[in-house]
Structure 1
Amino acid sequence: MIEMPSLQFAQVNGIRMGYYEAGPKTDAPPLVLCHGWPEMAFSWRHQLKALSEAGIRVIAPDQRGYGATDRPEPVEAYDMEHLTGDLVGLLDHLKIDKAIFVGHDWGGFIVWQMPLRHIDRVAGVVGVNTPHWDRAPADPIALMRQRFGDHMYIVQFQDPGREPDRIFGSRVEQTFDAFMRKPAPRPADAPAEEPIAGVGASARLNLAFPQMIANYDARHDPRTPILSPEEKKVFVDTFTKTGFTGGINWYRNFTRNWERSAGLDHTVRVPSLMIMAENDAVLPPSAADGMEKFIPDLEKYLVRDSGHWTQQEKPEEVSAKLIEWRRKRFG
């Protein structure tokens, strides 16, 4: 039985946003849980339950382009100004002064930007798998193309013809069957990960995600699924309805975000926690090396034996760490 709080709506930053809320309204600062791609607030179902039962107020939005939230047409409507502005608008709607922002995958990029752009609304930040870096020395898309070639999925996502959107959108069940699994065991002699802008080198062969999905057959996949059939149905039904373009548009703003962040001080000046997953091929723990340089008040925590979907693969451990850190730092 899947437990989720009831869906609510807020007019924020020019869009209607769907969100879920649990826990006592009196608790401050609350946690705002920000999902990645291709996910939605439902990815935090375990944390919504565990944290609220621990007496912590917790809010999980379907972010711009996803789930129950609006999907504006223009690509630049998904840039970092809009994505962080949506979260400020959600706090305004809920009459919340400051929150702790928790982000996984793409949600991680956004929550690390919150204290750079809206410091007066941020009590703390938690990155799940996604580290915080300084601004890239050059256009990130150019760097990824140079390093990984034209088939690397983020480079492919720049395609104005939107071919990746069509591939995922016409194979929704295949997409979640393929993505939402525990990683295959890594051989003991496998080389260490070598991160660039969030992409581990050993994942190189599998980075052509659209083609991987187009050719995928679950019958030949030995990896363990992390979703029950009932949970997978929630993802499949939602993305069948919304398509994938809203989320992919976040990737289409990599260059714009890089250009527009030129004058931004990248130091994070709030209490921060970095939760890393031992076996995440795309965002390996080594990607978080050196974060201390930009985050003076940082704690790191490693979740062993977890792949990329950490809060769904190891829900009890992630929830327990969030509760422990929140109590230690904020009472």
Structure 2
Amino acid sequence: MLDTTKFPAPTFVDVNGVTLEVFEAGQENKDNPIVLCHGWPEHAFSWRHQMPALAAAGYHVIVPNQRGYGNSSCPSEVTDYDISHLTGDLAALLDHFGYDDAIFVGHDWGANVVWSMALLHPARVKKIINLALPYQTRGETPWIEMMEAFLGPDNYFVHFNRQPGVADAILDANADRFLRNLFRKNVPLAPPEPGMMMINLAQTADAAGEPVMSDVDRAVFVAAFEQNGFTGSINWYRNMDRNWHILADVQPIIRKPALMVYGEQDMIPKSETLAEVVPGVDVVSLNCGHWIQQELPEETTKAILDWLAGQ
């Protein structure tokens, strides 16, 4: 159960052939929408700290559990999770609320969807704020093929694609342990252990660092994945090469006002070419790891609101 003292009750919205579980704040701020897009393996609840402040600042805050997550639809076909479907859901969500465009905020995989919104539905995107994952243009080689060549078969992106179902079953059987070990902060730098990282996290008794969130908050994520399993969310990864083909003829430069927020301790490297492919980008770095808006909620909210005010 969601902690209702911290989080609003959901509504269920039929869009683009699926039903999305949607959480809102600031509904009185009609015509000033901001859409927050979670990452993997997360939940709309990951934005719990930002929603009240954004609503107080005058925004209609719209936070979906995207397809494959929470109580939103979990289609069975892998291809139902490609980037056309994921961005199509968000465009249809704007239609539902009667909005031509919105500010989009994304973290991790949600950031990838937001960058892709600007490529596939540019008229629907007013401004972009992304956390953790910088925009990466499409290269000459499909993404999974490239990762396999450089990072090997145990890289979790590659493993999800080349050994379908294997990781899903292990994560499903160890949801609480996996999420407890994954959602960590202040993790000391160390060489990667042999094997597939996500499977290791699901099977190890102890993980380095400190918990990002309380047991009560983590229970929201655990309950959601214990209900539906991890396959729907992992299917996002299984479309990376399909997405590479979908984006083949798309103009790759993003010409929207954008804010990129990095965690200084994140394993995801900063982009050295971001300003070339997103000419309107501003960059902020916070002293945290990957789970930026949950590790440093007040600092993240301030960075977002300060940038929006400056716009």
What TM-score does the superposition give when structure 2 sets the normalisation length? 0.95
Letter in 2 for 1:264: V
Look up the match of 1:213.
201
Count of residues in correspondence between the two structures: 308
Look up the match of 1:292.
275
Which of 136, 146, 150 is matched with 2:149 structurally? 146
Separation in 2 of the partners of 1:242 and 1:55?
Answer: 35
Which of 220, 226, 233 is matched with 1:240 structurally? 226
Separation in 1 of the partners of 2:256 and 2:198?
Answer: 38
Separation in 1 of the partners of 2:121 and 2:164?
Answer: 35
Look up the match of 1:85.
88
In the alignment, is the contact (CA less than 8 A) between 2:175 and 2:202 conserved in 1? Answer: no
Which of 40, 46, 49 is matched with 2:52 structurally? 49
Which of 165, 188, 210 is matched with 1:162 structurally? 165
Could you say if the C-alpha distance between residues 143 and 44 of structure 1 is closer, same or farther in structure 2, counting changes exceeding 3 Å? same
* Superposition deviation, residue 159 in structure 1: 3.5
Q: Secondary structure at the match of 1:252?
A: helix
Segments of structure 2 that go 5 or more residues without pairing to the other structure are none
Segments of structure 1 that go 5 or more residues without pairing to the other structure are 187-201
* Superposition deviation, residue 133 in structure 1: 1.6
* Superposition deviation, residue 113 in structure 1: 0.9
List per-residue Cα deviations over 1:119-157 (Å, max 9, x = no partner).
111101111011012112201111111111111111110
Look up the match of 1:178.
181
Residue 315 in structure 1 maps to residue 303 in structure 2: no
Residue 249 in structure 1 maps to residue 249 in structure 2: no
* Superposition deviation, residue 204 in structure 1: 4.7
What TM-score does the superposition give when structure 1 sets the normalisation length? 0.89
Separation in 1 of the partners of 2:129 and 2:273?
Answer: 16
Which of 119, 125, 128 is matched with 2:128 structurally? 125
Separation in 1 of the partners of 2:98 and 2:28?
Answer: 11
* Superposition deviation, residue 207 in structure 1: 7.3
Separation in 2 of the partners of 1:102 and 1:64?
Answer: 17
Letter in 2 for 1:211: I
Could you say if the C-alpha distance between residues 206 and 300 of structure 1 is closer, same or farther in structure 2, counting changes exceeding 3 Å? farther
Separation in 1 of the partners of 2:284 and 2:193?
Answer: 28
Separation in 2 of the partners of 1:311 and 1:206?
Answer: 30
